[in-house]
Amino acid sequence: MINIKINNILNDKGKSIYWLADKTGLAYSTTYNLVNNNTASVHFKTLEEIMQALDITDFNQVLEIIPEE
């Protein structure tokens, strides 16, 4: 399973889902689903836009692989 860690980053930076949606130009619903791990897939371009908005350059800060038991 892949865990998207955007919610933790937003909390650490004191930013909201609305702020991220506005900053990236993504729809609020898309941003909300990504932040809350309610998505089956994500485009690399979308991740790039989110990472740029959050000033992140390392994918490991955004994505985490959790082994399934």
CATH number for 46: 1.10.260.40
Q: How confident is the model at residue 8 (pLDDT cuts 50, 70, 90)?
A: very high
Q: What's the helix, strand, coil split of the chain in %, to 5?
A: 55, 10, 40
63 vs 69, which has greater pLDDT? 63
C-alpha dist (Å) from residue 43 to 12, 39, 49: 24, 11, 10
Model pLDDT, residue 2: 86
Q: In terms of C-beta distances under 8 Å and separation of at least 24 residues, what long-range contacts does 22-27 make, across chains too?
A: 23/53, 24/49, 24/50, 24/52, 24/53, 25/49, 26/50
Q: pLDDT tens, 25-61?
A: 999 999 999 999 998 889 999 999 999 999 999 999 9
- The domain in which residue 53 lies consists of 2-65
Number of separate domains in the chain? 1
